[in-house]
């Protein structure tokens, strides 16, 4: 009987140690994700024009909308299974919102954003060439 009690106590101590380590690691990774998320949202806020349409029914509200630091939103728009995301830059983001944002990124949000920016840059480049060609010909 004493052997069973000793084994039980040792097993419980090992389980408790593993749980504390896992909890600590989870907390650290959650904090790193919060910081990385804020870093990405600040980059979007500082580098992408407010009028630019973000992909995946997302938007970033800024000071002109009453959010000086910025507020990232994803609107479900009647899409079953898609949950709203609301992340205000510089706040302690709730774990559920971080998880939803992580899923959005994993599903290709950054690739879609890059593609949209590239497409718009190409369109601007083509229009600039057209305008420059017009101006060159109109000066003759």
DSSP 75: -
pLDDT digits (tens, 9 = 90+) for 80-137: 778 999 999 999 999 999 999 999 999 999 999 999 999 998 988 988 888 888 888 8
For the entire predicted model, the pTM comes to 0.78
Three-state secondary-structure class, residue 88: strand
Q: Which residues neighbour 71 within 8 Å (Cβ) at sequence distance 6 or greater? A: 60, 61, 65, 86, 87, 88, 89
Neighbours of 120 (CB within 10 A): 14
- Give mean pLDDT, residues 26-51: 93
């Amino acid at each position: 009987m004493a052997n069973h009690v000793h084994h039980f106590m040792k097993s419980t101590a090992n389980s408790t140690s593993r749980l504390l380590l896992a909890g600590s690691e989870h907390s650290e990774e959650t904090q790193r994700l919060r910081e990385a998320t804020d870093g990405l949202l600040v980059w979007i806020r500082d580098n992408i024009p407010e009028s630019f349409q973000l992909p995946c029914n997302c938007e970033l509200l800024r000071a002109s909308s009453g959010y000086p630091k910025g507020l990232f939103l994803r609107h479900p728009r009647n899409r079953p299974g898609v949950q709203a995301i609301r992340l205000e830059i510089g706040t302690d983001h709730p774990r559920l919102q971080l998880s939803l944002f992580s899923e959005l990124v994993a599903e290709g949000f950054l690739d879609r954003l890059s593609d949209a920016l590239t497409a718009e840059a190409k369109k601007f480049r083509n229009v600039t060439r057209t305008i420059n060609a017009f101006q060159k010909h109109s000066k003759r």
